[in-house]
Structure 1
Amino acid sequence: MTTLYGSLEAGGTKFICAVGNENLEVIEKVQFPTATPQEAIAQTIAFFQQFDNLAALAIGTFGPADIDPDSETYGYITSTPKPFWSDTDLVGPIKEALGIPVYFTTDVNSSAYGEALIREGVDSLVYYTIGTGIGAGAIQNGQFIGGISHAEAGHVYVAKHPDDANFDGICPFHGACLEGLAAGPSLEARTGVRGENIEKDSYVWDVQAYYIAQAAVATTLNFRPEVIVFGGGVMAQDHMLNRVRELFKKLMNNYVPVPALDEYIVTPAIAENGSATYGNFALAKKIAH
């Protein structure tokens, strides 16, 4: 019987459950809305209980989350703005129901791990998701960064764009932080139009790219990675990557050397934002042996 590994990408909008084989290939996958914790956890358990040969599961979740195994609230989603999800034990009921080892981290850490694995020879990489929220995971020398917990790079403060002076941001904790100014919902908050329906020549895309480019500058100066990957729905707009590269170049102003921008600031190498699933399969395989 083939050994299988599980992946749960617990996102702010949807849960994606998948099982993969020894080659980290998807065998079966399902997704459903991130409704209440009771509904989402029950659907997760029901999916994975179908597989008798599931050796281990890795969970990458939206945050903030407690990923310290020595903490009393390990496995919990903590102070999230997501309705109903604050102080939710995500790992406990899943691990109890399945009876297998569970690796717990953030969804962006899972994505960073997957992207670093798929890019041969890359040992340092930072992955951002620019979607319903903004988060980042970083790999240095093949390991996650973080001390007492995971990074929260989506909530750093950035300089306001001159055309955005009157927008207060949407983050319920910080207002005009990176997430408050550049996450997908900020587009509709400014314009009254969902991002996918906004014209490509709208001023708002340059505003968004200005904030995302600042994140790339800060990441470059703080971590000096080999690659910065921008995933998520906002970056799925085909014009955004070049906007970010152009503004990064202007803001960096040749201060430190970086690789060619078409190799340095990129979108995911794994199609359909599948980086977290691939990374989770690898993390699950790691703890199963």
Structure 2
Amino acid sequence: MTYYGSIEAGGTKFFCAVADEQLNIIERINLPTRSPKVTLDEVFAFFDTYPLIALGIGSFGPIDVNSKSSTYGYITSTPKPGWQNIDLLGSLKERYQVPVAWTTDVNAAAYGEMHLGAGKDTESCIYLTVGTGVGGGAVVNGTVLQGFSHPEMGHISVQRYPGDTVESACPYHDNCLEGLAAGPALEKRTGIKGQLLEATHDIWEIEAFYIAQALMNYTLTLSPEKIILGGGVMKQTQLFPKIRASLERQLGGYVALPVLEDYIVGCDLGDNSGTMGCLLLAKEKCEIKSDEFVS
């Protein structure tokens, strides 16, 4: 039997999985993200026991997705210590010499949700994760969206909520979505970790305002058929109606939207969104290479 491999490479953990040709997961592990050498040695030890035919990687970033670039496949200017300018794709291709799909972790999650999860009735969707950081991926006409680089939806500029003077949690920007809406920003305002905050806390109105403002910008720019929200902060389900109401207020009736309960939704695949997306991309990459060989 042959297998597809998936690596969801995160700044905190690497989630590795193998699946059969029907994408049934055979084994899945998670590894702490330590130094590149230690982490990759553990990744190799896991995959070396399986005859892989393709591999899908969804990585934390920023990463280089421009195949014409000299640093294609690298993790580039990440704030993760020790991981700057690491050739992750090259290391894995050298080890396994199979077709490898390469994208961001959130693009992989968007792809998984569009094909197998909350967006499976669409051809376009956005997946936004709100947790320790904020990141977003988009699928347009069934294809992962990227150009000379990949979307950095967590770092768009947003207007501050009236009276909100908290110092941004982002080391790069004073007024970006991640700096004002990620988990560390919640803790800066309240002194309490987000998962411990009560559902009735006033902070959720501020959080909803920032997320809705971002969704308005994505809506006006890309017009996705669905926006899917995941990540640790979005496990606070009381946020969903607040975000929908805030989005409606901020749009001011300028464009007509689908029914908001259907337009802004949670993820169906839970913590497996990225893994399933990577497996789908691996399978697709393998099929493309097979077609090239036949032709």
Scaled by the length of structure 1, the TM-score of the pair is 0.94
How far did 1:105 drift?
A: 0.4
Q: 2:92 aligns with which of 86, 91, 94?
A: 94
How far did 1:72 drift?
A: 1.0
1:4-15 correspondence to structure 2 within 5 Å:
4-15=3-14
**What whole-Å deviation, never above 9, does each CA across 1:47-75 have from its counterpart, x for those lacking one?**
111102x1111100111100112211111
Q: What is the number of residues matched between the two proteins? A: 285
Alignment partner, residue 195 of structure 2? 196
Q: 1:93 is paired with a residue of what secondary structure?
A: helix
Alignment partner, residue 235 of structure 2? 236
Alignment partner, residue 290 of structure 2? none
Distance of 1:107 and 1:149 partners within structure 2: 14
Alignment partner, residue 157 of structure 1? 157
Alignment partner, residue 133 of structure 1? 133
Percent identity among equivalent residues? Answer: 47
Distance of 1:43 and 1:176 partners within structure 2: 38
The answer to whether the aligner puts 1:211 opposite 2:210 as a matched pair is: yes
How far did 1:261 drift?
A: 0.9
How far did 1:192 drift?
A: 2.1
How far did 1:212 drift?
A: 0.5
**Structure 1: which amino acid aligns with 2:145?**
I
Q: Which runs of 5+ in 2 are unaligned?
A: 288-295
Going from structure 1 to structure 2, the CA distance change for 1:13 and 1:175 (only over 3 Å counts) comes to farther
Distance of 2:244 and 2:197 partners within structure 1: 21
Q: Which runs of 5+ in 1 are unaligned?
A: none
How far did 1:211 drift?
A: 0.6
How far did 1:44 drift?
A: 1.3
Alignment partner, residue 292 of structure 2? none
Distance of 2:62 and 2:125 partners within structure 1: 21
How far did 1:80 drift?
A: 1.2
Q: 1:108 aligns with which of 83, 106, 111?
A: 106
Alignment partner, residue 272 of structure 2? 274
How far did 1:111 drift?
A: 0.8
Alignment partner, residue 170 of structure 1? 169
How far did 1:249 drift?
A: 1.4
Distance of 1:242 and 1:265 partners within structure 2: 9
Scaled by the length of structure 2, the TM-score of the pair is 0.93
1:78-93 correspondence to structure 2 within 5 Å:
78-93=76-91
Distance of 2:34 and 2:255 partners within structure 1: 45
Root-mean-square deviation (Å): 1.3
Residues 12 and 132 of structure 1 are in contact (CA less than 8 Å); yes or no, is this contact kept in structure 2?
A: no
Q: 1:23 is paired with a residue of what secondary structure?
A: coil
**Structure 2: which amino acid aligns with 1:45?**
F
How far did 1:206 drift?
A: 1.5
Alignment partner, residue 180 of structure 1? 179
Distance of 1:170 and 1:84 partners within structure 2: 21
**Structure 2: which amino acid aligns with 1:265?**
I
**What whole-Å deviation, never above 9, does each CA across 1:89-108 have from its counterpart, x for those lacking one?**
21122222222221110011
**Structure 2: which amino acid aligns with 1:144?**
V
Q: 1:97 is paired with a residue of what secondary structure?
A: helix
Q: 2:56 is paired with a residue of what secondary structure?
A: strand
**Structure 2: which amino acid aligns with 1:233?**
G
Distance of 1:85 and 1:64 partners within structure 2: 11
**What whole-Å deviation, never above 9, does each CA across 1:198-242 have from its counterpart, x for those lacking one?**
122222222111111111111110011100011111111121212
Distance of 1:46 and 1:242 partners within structure 2: 45
**Structure 1: which amino acid aligns with 2:114?**
A
Residues 168 and 176 of structure 1 are in contact (CA less than 8 Å); yes or no, is this contact kept in structure 2?
A: no
